[in-house]
Amino acid sequence: MKAESFDDKFDAGEDVTAQLDVSRARRRNHAARRVNVDFPSWMVDELDREALRLGVTRQSIIKVWLSERLEQAMGTKRA
């Protein structure tokens, strides 16, 4: 498919995902980096309770909450 045809289909709201090779697609600034953080026991217990209530992992809830707080502090929304 030529670029102009692709653009026309996209602009018309047609599904063009079949034309994309996403096998090597990466999101910018989303490479994982390991960080060790020590929390007091009571905080880990509360995180575990909330994670269980929401049906997610402790790591997931920490990442979501930190992301929300950073977005609020920066006044932006990251993709």
Map tokens 């030529």 to a residue. Answer: 2
For 24-68, write each residue's pLDDT tens digit. Answer: 888 887 888 899 999 999 999 999 999 999 999 999 999 999 999
Asked whether the beta carbons of 51 and 65 are under 8 A apart, the reply is no
Distance CA 29, CA 27 (A): 6
Length in residues, the chain? 79
Confidence class for position 77, pLDDT limits 50, 70, 90: low
pTM, rounded to two decimals: 0.58
